[in-house]
Each structure stands twice: as structure tokens, then as C-alpha cells.
Chains A and B, each alone.
Chain A
């Protein structure tokens, strides 16, 4: 296990790289996966699930990098400085870092919730991304804010379950709509794995197929809601989904 900082010296990103153990079907790990966290309270809640996914992938011989976007987790920057363009840039840095550290020329990327959106948007320009898995993706900013701020848009910086969302950040997030934004760009095979059956997942899947991307949508009913916060801090670990992600990422024919 190698925790480290990488990226721009004025705003380093925290990353944790773990090597595949070579016990899988590929003797020496040739596969590498980048894991993109959600944001806000969902990041904290997902940390343990990511660690478990990380461990299972390593056991199957896959190298893994997970990292914190700037202004989140252990990375540099204050929450009020966060912005969508910076976060997309961070994913770009992380892709470079994994390619370099794993010594490979192609990687897979898994993102959860907003992490799925950032991964998909950043990967549009990256030929090295072989496959994308969007896990419970936030398909659009407007759908997200309808969930977390049902009372309507506030002004100024608002705290959502402990994390500041400035007007600028909200504006950036509201500008995201994967159905529209993934209609162009490289035709990366893109799977959607979701715990519930939302119309927006079907719409995204249809948009991807229409754009010529190999895509499939798997709905794996699982309890829990990433945006729901336990008052004493719990973790959500959807075991069935994690198992499917591992199978999918270690299936060379997928």
C-alpha cells in the first residue's frame, strides 16, 4: 500500500495505490483500475465500500488507484474553493498517475455517483481509458439537487450534510447532464450498474448506445441511499454491486 500526494505542487492530490497480487488469472497484474469517489457526505459513506472493492480487485491481480479530488478528503484545498473544472482536471491527473505508476498503457475507470459523472466527462478525451463503469451515477446536476435540496435553490454557500457547496460549484454541477455530454467523444465501452431503476439511467444508456458506445445497464436492487446520512456516521457497502463490479472488471472479454 502506498499513500502519497501527486499532481500539481500548488494543489497536491491524495492518492492510495495498491498493487495487484498476481494471484488472479493474469499472473502479473496488467490491469489497472482508477476509482473515483463521490463528493460531500457520500464520499465519507463510500470510503469503506471503495476499500473493499480495492482489496478484491488487488486479490484478482489488478492494480488500483483511488484518490481524493482537490478540496475533498486529504487533498489540498478548502471546500469553498472546489469547482467542477478542477475536479475534471484532477481525474485527468489521476489517469496519468495510474498509467505511470502501474506501468500500463490502458486502464479501466469506475466512478460512484458524482465520481461516475466526473470519470465519464474526463475520459472523453483520454484514449487510454479502455472501459468505464458508472456506479449509481449522477446523470444530471438538476436531478441531484432535486434530491438533496428539495426546497429549492438557495443563494450563497449552502452546507449539504456538512459540506459547503458554493454558488459557483452548484452552477458547475447543474451544468452536468451526461445524456447530452456523452453523446459526443470517444466511443468508450460504458456500463451502468445501479441499485435502483431510475428513468434517467435508461435515458443515459439509450443516449450512449445512440452515440455508438457499447453500453449496458444492470440494475442490482440494493438497499440504501448514498445521500442519506446516519447521525453517527455509518458506511454503505452494497455487497452485490461490489461483486458484480469485480467480476466485470476482471472479465477480459467484457
Chain B
């Protein structure tokens, strides 16, 4: 495995290119591009992106993990590209760079949270993308979600007490001096479910391989394994994508055991892309 630090593209983005040893490299395999999560720089939450790139290199894949402009070590972008187009534009610049230095013409993109969102939109706009993985992707509540979330609370006196306290003194519960903190600049807005459903359908029709890893860290949106598939019954995601849910997992995947599950899943999932034109549907 070889790692190179680099600055690339018109916006001088900073990244690390991880390449497999030549004897392990899979010919014709796609390159992987990993996208920032919020303001966390390219090493990723819990150093997960570094470890993922190295796991992928062991399996013969080249990976670029980089900082979007204004994030991590990359400078603020000075050209006229609107902020809302930045994710897709810079993801494409990253793919262009990998194509040039590694000679690949297909890509797998992914990330956590806002990185997952950027990967989703990039996948819709760039046909070179043949695989999409997302940690805590856009998701939508179902009737079963509400039953699981609220039914136990209806009979729990503590939940009622908490609800009353929140209504009476919200400031006291949320007080924090924000001047010295930077929260993620990206304000996460879930698009209407229909838009995401259409997008996923487009990707599936294109043969894009999908892997979703959901955590209990966003249990205000997601709380059981089958929720994503049940949100989009027409797409039959339970058969056409790999979906993992760990209720005890935090959004930042802080437990070492959960990190191992994610990396093992990714290693296995990525192997499908070796020497194939497009990822096959999972059964």
C-alpha cells in the first residue's frame, strides 16, 4: 500500500491518495472517493476513513479521501460556483484527478451524514459512479417507526416528565456558549421522500451498487433494520441493496466493535466491483 499527500484541482483541495501494492491492484476496478462529514476533515469520524482506505487498498482498490473547499486543510473556494453545487463539483474534480493518476474510469463514492448526502447527489449526476455507500443516509419515518418510538413512551412516566420540562425551560436545557464552537456548516435538510425514492430508482436502474449503514445515533429518524426498505417498498431495497442497522451505534461510529462491522461490510461489499462493468444486485 502506498499513500500520497496531494493538492489537486482548480480549488487546490487537499487529499490523501491510497493505492494498493501493484501486485494486489485489481485491473479495471473502480476508484473509491470518500467525502467529508460536516466539518470533520478527511480522516473521518473515529479515523474511520483512513482505515477504510487502507482496507480497500488491501483488496486492490485505489481511494482518494479529501477535504471539500473550506473544510479541513482545503482553502475556501474562490471561483463562482454556488455553495449548493460545491459538493457535486468537487466530488467530480476528485474523480477526475483519480482518473488521471490511477487510470480508472468508474467510481464508488460515499461518506457519513453530509458526506452521504453529497455522494447521493453526485451519483445522480455522474454516470461514472457505479457504487454508493452511505452512513446515516436520507431516511424517512414509517408507521412502524412511530410505533417503536412512541408506544413505549406512552406508558413511561419519565418520558412525560421530560416532555413537560422541555416545554417549560427549553433554554435551560439547550444553553451553550456557541461562539467558541463550530457546528457543521452544512445544514442537513432531508429532501421530500419522493425525490429520494426517484433518485434511488434511477441509481438501481443504472446498476449502481448500494450499501446503507444506519446508526441508532439518529434515532429521531431511524429505529429498525427494515425501515429503509419499508420506506420505499417499490424499490425492493431489501433484495437490491445491502442495509445494516446497529441500534447501539452512535452517529460517529465510536464503538470499536461497530467500526469493525462497518469495515468488514465494506470490504465484502467492495469486492463485487472488481473487474465488473457495474455492481450486480445483491440477493
Contacts and interface: CB of A to CB of B under 8 A. Distances in A.
Interface of A: 1, 3-5, 12, 14, 16, 41, 44, 47-48, 51, 72-74, 76, 78-79, 157, 159, 161-164, 222-224, 229-239
Interface string B85-120: 000000000000000000000000000010000000
B80 to A, nearest CB: 22
Contacts of A162: 45-47, 252-256, 259
Interface residues of B, number: 40
Interface in B244-276: 250-256, 259
Interface stretch (B34-42, B144-152, B222-230): B34-42
Given A51-B73, A74-B50, A162-B46, A14 B252 contact: no
Given A3-B7, A79-B47, A232 B180 contact: no
B180 A12 contact: no
A3 B42 CA distance: 13
Contacts of B280: none
A238 B43 contact: no
A4 B5 contact: yes
Given A1-B73, A12-B3, A163-B47, A233 B182 contact: no
B155 to A, nearest CB: 27
Interface string B172-196: 0000010111111000000000000
Contact of A48 (B3, B14, B50, B182): B182
Contacts of A16: 5, 14, 73
B47 A234 contact: no
Contact of A224 (B50, B180, B183): B180
4 nearest A-B pairs in the assembled complex, by CB-CB distance: A162-B46, A162-B254, A3-B5, A159-B256
A231 B251 contact: yes
Interface in B19-64: 37-43, 45-47, 50-51
Given A14-B5, A74-B5, A162-B47, A234 B39 contact: yes
B254 A237 contact: no
Nearest to B38: A233
B16 interface: yes
Nearest to B42: A74
A234 B5 contact: no
Given A74-B5, A161-B254, A232 B47 contact: no
B180 A234 contact: no
